[in-house]
Structure 1
Amino acid sequence: MGNNLSQYARDRIYLCKSAGGTDLNLSSCNIKRIPKRILRFKKTLKKLNVGKNLIVEFYSQIEKFQLLETLIAESNELKDTCTQLSKLEHLTVLDVSNNMLTVIPNNLKSLITLNISYNSIQSFGNVTISLPALQELFYSFNKVSIFPTEILEIQTLKKLDISGNHLNYLPDEISNLAPCLEHLNIADNRFTSFPPPISSLGNLRTLNIANNNLGTSLSNQFTTLSKLEILDFSGCSLSSFDFDLSQLQNLTELYLARNSIPYLSPTTSISIGELTQTLRILDLSSGAFTILPKQIGWCTNLRRLNISQNQLPKVPGELHLLNPSIDIIIQPNPLEYPFCEWIKEGIPTFLKNLKPYMRAYGPNCTISDLEPTLKAMAPNQYTINSFDYSNNARVSGGDEFKVQMLLDGSNTGGASGSGEQPSSPDESNGGFPLGRANSMFFRSIECIVKDNKATKPGSYTVYFNSPQTGSYTISITSDNLPIKGSPFTVELV
């Protein structure tokens, strides 16, 4: 370009000189080639940015910048990278994305980060020799339909972005990358089911599979990736989400936006409630949600919640537990009164007003009036007292409790006072004592739970009547969580 440099480019070069000649930014300067005058920085320059220009070829004397560590040449018109780049012994970052390259740059012995996205690269060659130190490879939007197996030889690879291509499978050999690979982005491809080989990547911290048509083919294989911190299933045509996330104890960000999920299953809801210390971002926007799990409110470290553009008439009262400074996006939604009025007053006020709408939290609920010994062949009752997540007594009804009352089969033979001694183990009965094996049909007693919201809101009376004497175990749960002290034991005589 020589003396035809724009004043804008001249000013950038002057600023670089004033700052010691280590960082030169010539991006968006409308230049067609790297100017020769930057040779004055050949002994000092560490970072050169010539992105967003009209450059068609590299400056042939680029090899003279022996201290250069970062070279950015994205969004130009490069068809090839010059061989002189291989002489830059300190070059660790190279960005040549959005050009017209067809072959991967090679013989870069110190390169750690390579961005070749938005090109037409199909040829890799022997990357273990040409890129022996590579840790981050951005290879998105290159119209790749067959996974390049050469990548599987890069044993140092920590981050792989191969999004925006035409892939519909991953080879089993991707397990070769398991020791190092921590970030995998396969979004915007053509996967129609969750790729099973991903489950072998036990060190993954980030998994982005957004904008693939997974539909109902999403398997639970991702739930074994215990080191996951970020999980993105946005835009995957999901109509349900029924997975136990309890193994993902490091999960900080979960994205389920742009799907058709009407609600999260009880299993998923409960497991989200186990991520109270880690989950910081939850995105359920642009979906079909008609109800939200109350367990979201238990995640008190949540910093961003996006539930906009759904079909929510109300939100759970447990959102009251969230930090008032949280970035929460609710509208648009068809909120009913009074939620639609509260939201107009701002998020802190909205959350504060939700407190009376909190529901029962099983581990805080108690029972009363349950005697250890009751009469058989007679009506019996006791009371469940409900408390919310903050251990405040519930002030209204509407909570659900599951009560299961089982006759202890191991005591059935002795309930009539026969004093029969347990038999010795019988291998033909799977190792159980013969007397116990014959009585494994635990008898279930029907229990009726009455909501006392008209007389004593927040309490529930349980009625039962057993025709048989014996020891009974009573299990009481709310949202699959046992109440305080459950299971209980009573003797009917």
Structure 2
Amino acid sequence: MSLPYKMMLDSLPVEVIEKILEYVKLEGLIQLIEHNQFLSQNLNIKAAMNQLICNTNISYNNRITQPSFLHMYCRTPTYIDKNSLQFLPRISSLFNIIDYCIEEHLQSSITISFYIWLLKDIDEFLSTITSINNSVDSKMRFNIEIEFNRGLLYNLSLNYIFDVLADHLGQGIESITVYNYSGSFTFHIARFPKLRNIWFEDSNVKFGQSFQFATDMKTLTIHPNSFGWNNNHPVYLHKSVPHSLQRLKLGSCVIKEKSINYGIPQDLESLDLTRVGDRTDFQYIRPLIEQNLSNNLKELSVDYLWGAESRVMDLDIILFDIPENFQKMQQLNRFAIIGLNRSIDFSSFKLTDLTIKGTQHSRIINECHFPITLKKLDISNNHLADLSNIDKNLPELLEHLNIADNPIDWDLYIPKFEKFNKLKNLKLSNTHVRSHLTKIIFPDSIVELSLEVNQISSIENVRFPENLSNLGIGSNLIKHVHRPSFPPGLKTVHLTENKLSGPLDLSKNSSGKELNIEILYLNYTLLSNIQEINLPNNLRILNFDYCIMKNISNIEFPASILELSLSACEISTMKNISWESGSRLRYICLSHNELSKFDIKFPPSVETINLAGNKISTVNPNVFNNLENLQTLILSSNKFERFVYQFNSISLRSLDLSFNNIRILNVAFPKNSITELRSINLCSNKLTNLTPVMIGHDRDLTFHNKLIEIDITDNRIKADDIEKTVGEFPSSLKCLFVGYTGERDRFGYDIASNIIEGRYCPTKRVDVPIHE
């Protein structure tokens, strides 16, 4: 639809127009920037839109293909305010808005975040980076985030990936985040001159240069083993950390002797030290704490620090016995300590956030005095049984309270939570609540409530807060849920691992008002008949994993569902499955069931279908037809002896046929086309040869010009034979995994070799099928 050249809206002040455009949201703005002639005639609208773009926290995140991953991403705190993020709907939108910002010389910041499930994901990441036209004088700034799947089989070279990143966007990158990288990686900070934030977590990393190049660095987070496993090597710090730092977080790090020859950052606002060794025998860590306490430090978190000969640092003495330090601590806004050995009077402190965990005696917490300024208190895992003294000491301005993982005796005392009328987040998981739940009066202000692992058998007669949005009540003994007293605004419910057996009704609450639950986890329950389940109409994520259902029939799933998972439910038959008109389904998982036949008709919106671990030997010739958005199809660990299929769409990017018994392979795509296929996994089958035509390339004038990976490890194909025909496959091919190298990695995986010389993925771990 063409837009008029001049609108009455343009006569309004820019500030007013900006407020109006906020309702259009990011996707609407993207459509608007494509109309250059309209914007040139409506300069106030353009100015308002430009201002809005500059003030919007824009992100492209590939987790949009699996909404549950995006949900967890948003709940994981980093240096970015994820609550304000607005996500671009597609990769083309990212390029459009970047090009517009560069053309208009706008100073905008964009977060590009990728989760790496498969090789195609890192390839898409690299393609995205190299496709951005960021000029040297551009005002654009980028936050780059890469999170690797913990079970990723590819041995990716992060050194190569970061070389590409530096070559194309190095001048414009402000923040870099890496999660879960287990390879060998050396980070060269000099290649990113405008870098302000580093966040390396659960990753192996070394630093190739001194931080002297990082003159503008504001945040440094290094924690190679924050998940709790010692999978990665500790980070050794030989020299100074950047003097410009405002926020420093070190975990599983070792400070070497040479560090004392360099200066210590003096202007920290936040310091977090977790399981850090100081080989200078505290000549580095202690001044780091004390000197910053004397200056601008507002946040301090300490947990198990040790020096030479593994001598543990006595934090109580340094922080509380030295009067000067204790006096300076009163300026802190946030303080966290693990293993406090004495009670402290915090009443004179200006704290808004206090964490005390892992004390040996409950009296330590009972005798502490808290400041009236406190808004967030975490006293989990402190052997607390009687809450009466604590309840008297808690300030009524609390917004977040965590008393989880304490052996509370609720017969002794039930806190008066209702007096905290500003409380938004309350965590009571693993506190022996049991039947006392009906006696607890919650303030209506609570938005998030955690009640997991409490032996709760019923939620009848429980009065839930009116403003509750997120309820975690998994790992309990609840048997029945029928129109509970949930508030209508509740969005997320985790009922995982309860004794639910049905019937179950979450369509309305006990007052007859419709529930608007969007995320619902019913996995690991005893639900067995899906027809006895009455669901809300606004669901986006629905998970039934490990519910033994066997047969599913005569059900229509709501159009609102984006992600549906029914994994490991022992399903053997599915009949008369339908989708409400206008279905938005993107992801469906039916893996590890007992399906031998499969002829479900999926909605055209679906992007990922996971049927791994079933007993399927044939598929209906039309079952995957007319799925114009299908990108990932997983049929691994089934019973195929031959796979012959004609896809009528070119959208498919990843086809996984591994761990079958395939002897005959014949895959075809529409004639006269360039497909989107990136990856085909054929490992652990019985193929004796492989030609391009067998996978649909160079056949009927159809080509896989974007194909990057073929895995034929553990077949009956000789490496010498396939090497002779490599030239017949697409020139885009970067990885062709054929045979074993005879080596194993540090996790015990056999290693498959890539016979194509590729810098970013030289080898791959050989997967092991799941035997049931």
Corresponding residue SS for 1:150: coil
Question: Aligned match of 2:400 in 123, 136, 141?
Answer: 136
Partner residue in 1 for 2:292? 41
Partner residue in 1 for 2:428? 162
Alpha-carbon distance between aligned partners in 1 of 2:333 and 2:599, rounded to the nearest angstrom: 55
Partner residue in 1 for 2:458? 193
Partner residue in 1 for 2:543? 283
Deviation at 1:293, TM superposition (A): 6.9
The alignment status of 1:333 with 2:603, answered yes or no, reads no
Question: Aligned match of 2:376 in 113, 118, 131?
Answer: 113
Deviation at 1:126, TM superposition (A): 5.6
Corresponding residue SS for 2:415: helix
Deviation at 1:146, TM superposition (A): 1.4
Deviation at 1:256, TM superposition (A): 0.7
Partner residue in 2 for 1:87? 348
Partner residue in 2 for 1:299? 559
Q: How does 1:79-478 map to 2 (within 5 A)?
A: 79-83=341-345, 85-89=346-350, 91-102=351-362, 103-104=365-366, 105-124=368-387, 125=389, 127=391, 129-146=393-410, 148-152=413-417, 153-170=419-436, 172-175=438-441, 177-196=442-461, 198-199=462-463, 201-215=465-479, 218-220=480-482, 222-246=484-508, 247-265=513-531, 268-269=533-534, 271-272=535-536, 274-275=537-538, 279-292=539-552, 297-300=557-560, 302-312=561-571, 313-314=573-574, 316-318=577-579, 322-323=583-584, 326-338=586-598, 347=608, 353=623
Deviation track 1:310-352 (CA, whole Å, cap 9, x = no partner) reads 022337242896546x343321111232359x9xx98359899
Deviation at 1:98, TM superposition (A): 3.3
Q: Tell whether the 8 Å contact from 2:266 to 2:292 is kept in structure 1 after alignment.
A: no
Q: Tell whether the 8 Å contact from 1:23 to 1:46 is kept in structure 2 after alignment.
A: yes
Corresponding residue SS for 1:28: strand
Deviation at 1:163, TM superposition (A): 0.9
Deviation track 1:111-147 (CA, whole Å, cap 9, x = no partner) reads 1111111221234426355423212111111112316
Alpha-carbon distance between aligned partners in 2 of 1:79 and 1:243, rounded to the nearest angstrom: 49
Corresponding residue SS for 1:114: strand
The alignment yields a C-alpha RMSD, in angstroms, of: 3.8
Change (3 A) 1:248 1:230: farther
Change (3 A) 1:337 1:49: same
Deviation track 1:203-260 (CA, whole Å, cap 9, x = no partner) reads 3222222111223xx2435254222111122111122133141445431111111012
Letter in 1 for 2:472: N
Deviation at 1:155, TM superposition (A): 3.6
Alpha-carbon distance between aligned partners in 1 of 2:503 and 2:516, rounded to the nearest angstrom: 19
Deviation track 1:31-61 (CA, whole Å, cap 9, x = no partner) reads 7997255222223012222135456553112
Alpha-carbon distance between aligned partners in 2 of 1:293 and 1:208, rounded to the nearest angstrom: 29
Corresponding residue SS for 2:468: coil
Change (3 A) 1:294 1:39: farther
Change (3 A) 1:157 1:21: same
Corresponding residue SS for 1:26: strand
Alpha-carbon distance between aligned partners in 2 of 1:296 and 1:55, rounded to the nearest angstrom: 61
Change (3 A) 1:98 1:129: closer
Letter in 2 for 1:46: K
Unaligned runs of 5+ in 2: 1-234, 249-263, 306-311, 612-619, 627-772
- Identity among equivalent positions (%) equals 17
Q: Tell whether the 8 Å contact from 2:587 to 2:609 is kept in structure 1 after alignment.
A: no
* TM-score, with structure 1 as normaliser: 0.58
Deviation at 1:108, TM superposition (A): 1.9
Alpha-carbon distance between aligned partners in 1 of 2:483 and 2:580, rounded to the nearest angstrom: 30
Change (3 A) 1:88 1:258: same
Letter in 2 for 1:139: I
Deviation at 1:171, TM superposition (A): 5.7
Q: Tell whether the 8 Å contact from 1:226 to 1:249 is kept in structure 2 after alignment.
A: yes
Alpha-carbon distance between aligned partners in 1 of 2:555 and 2:624, rounded to the nearest angstrom: 14
Alpha-carbon distance between aligned partners in 1 of 2:610 and 2:481, rounded to the nearest angstrom: 40
Alpha-carbon distance between aligned partners in 1 of 2:326 and 2:488, rounded to the nearest angstrom: 45
Deviation at 1:110, TM superposition (A): 1.3
Letter in 2 for 1:318: W
Letter in 1 for 2:269: T
Change (3 A) 1:243 1:38: same
Alpha-carbon distance between aligned partners in 1 of 2:610 and 2:478, rounded to the nearest angstrom: 39
Letter in 1 for 2:432: H
The alignment status of 1:28 with 2:275, answered yes or no, reads yes
Change (3 A) 1:55 1:191: farther
Unaligned runs of 5+ in 1: 1-5, 357-493
Deviation at 1:354, TM superposition (A): 6.7
Alpha-carbon distance between aligned partners in 2 of 1:257 and 1:112, rounded to the nearest angstrom: 34
Deviation at 1:172, TM superposition (A): 4.9
Corresponding residue SS for 1:64: helix
Higher normalized strand content (fraction of residues): 2
Alpha-carbon distance between aligned partners in 2 of 1:55 and 1:77, rounded to the nearest angstrom: 12
Tell me: higher relative CO, structure 1 or 2? Use CA pairs within 8 A at least 6 residues apart. Answer: 1
Letter in 2 for 1:115: D
Corresponding residue SS for 2:463: helix
Deviation at 1:308, TM superposition (A): 0.5
Letter in 1 for 2:270: D
Alpha-carbon distance between aligned partners in 2 of 1:118 and 1:354, rounded to the nearest angstrom: 51
Q: Tell whether the 8 Å contact from 1:242 to 1:265 is kept in structure 2 after alignment.
A: no
Q: Tell whether the 8 Å contact from 1:13 to 1:24 is kept in structure 2 after alignment.
A: no
Alpha-carbon distance between aligned partners in 1 of 2:482 and 2:506, rounded to the nearest angstrom: 8
Q: Tell whether the 8 Å contact from 1:12 to 1:26 is kept in structure 2 after alignment.
A: no
Alpha-carbon distance between aligned partners in 2 of 1:122 and 1:9, rounded to the nearest angstrom: 45
Q: Tell whether the 8 Å contact from 2:403 to 2:427 is kept in structure 1 after alignment.
A: yes
Alpha-carbon distance between aligned partners in 1 of 2:336 and 2:326, rounded to the nearest angstrom: 13
Q: Tell whether the 8 Å contact from 1:297 to 1:320 is kept in structure 2 after alignment.
A: no
Change (3 A) 1:288 1:26: same
Change (3 A) 1:290 1:349: closer
Deviation track 1:343-382 (CA, whole Å, cap 9, x = no partner) reads xx983598993789xxxxxxxxxxxxxxxxxxxxxxxxxx
Corresponding residue SS for 1:170: helix
Alpha-carbon distance between aligned partners in 2 of 1:82 and 1:57, rounded to the nearest angstrom: 13
Q: Tell whether the 8 Å contact from 1:318 to 1:354 is kept in structure 2 after alignment.
A: no
